[in-house]
């Protein structure tokens, strides 16, 4: 009674899998980064808002270049309508950059400790569910997903270094005059 048949590649994805695929789509992540930019800019955090946009879009360009240089076919049994490569995983890469931007730019602005931890927990839970869903749907190999996460981490470390080295110089530009340098 409780046994479900094993999922085959022709089965339609369940609601959670469709929802995760929709919400973690790179196009949706563009919307997320513009929302982050809008709120940070509105609260006078203009430098970090500008850094968020530059980091996301330059990360996407780097992603495209890496994808063009490396091509790894999808696992056997993947949905037939997919024509992408397994490494790097675009959904995970884009969402990872968004989560890292939230971690760097938004979480320090939250005053309540429990809200900070709740947001971090939610981001980690979404990332873990996305990892499991990508493996379960045979969209990517587990090692490719962890390599994509490592790629996000590497890019964000470089972006943080760029922010600390050069973004302080942008204070002299008129548009950033009323900004804080956090």
| DSSP per-residue string spanning 89-147 | -HHHHHHHHHHHHIIIIIGGG---HHHHHHHHHHHHHHHHHHHHHHHHTTSS-HHHHHH
d(CA 33, CA 45) in angstroms, rounded, equals: 14
CA distance 38 to 17: 29
> What does the pLDDT read at residue 119?
96
Q: Which residues of the chain have pLDDT under 50?
A: 1-9
Is the whole model's pTM more than 0.85, yes or no?
Answer: no
Say what the pLDDT of residue 75 is: 57
Note the pLDDT of residue 13.
63
Which pLDDT value is given to residue 42? 86
Residue 79 pLDDT = 52
Tell me which residue of 69, 76, 86 sits closest to 147, measured CA to CA: 86
Among 163, 150, 162, residue whose Cα is nearest residue 66: 150
């Amino acid at each position: 009674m409780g046994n479900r048949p094993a999922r085959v590649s022709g089965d339609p994805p369940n609601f959670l899998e469709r929802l995760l695929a929709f919400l973690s789509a790179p196009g949706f992540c563009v919307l997320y980064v513009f929302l982050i930019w809008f709120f940070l800019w509105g609260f006078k955090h203009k430098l970090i808002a500008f850094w968020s946009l530059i980091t996301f879009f330059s990360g996407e360009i780097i992603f495209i270049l890496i994808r063009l240089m490396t091509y790894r076919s999808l696992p056997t049994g993947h949905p037939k309508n997919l024509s992408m490569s397994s490494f790097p995983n675009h959904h995970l890469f884009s969402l990872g950059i968004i989560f890292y931007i939230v971690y760097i730019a938004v979480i320090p602005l939250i005053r309540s400790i429990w809200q900070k931890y709740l947001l971090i927990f939610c981001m980690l839970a979404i990332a873990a569910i996305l990892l499991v869903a990508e493996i379960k749907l045979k969209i990517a190999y587990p090692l490719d997903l962890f390599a994509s996460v490592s790629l996000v981490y590497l890019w964000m470390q470089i972006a943080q270094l760029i922010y600390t080295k050069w973004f302080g110089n942008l204070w002299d530009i008129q548009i950033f005059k009323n900004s804080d340098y956090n």
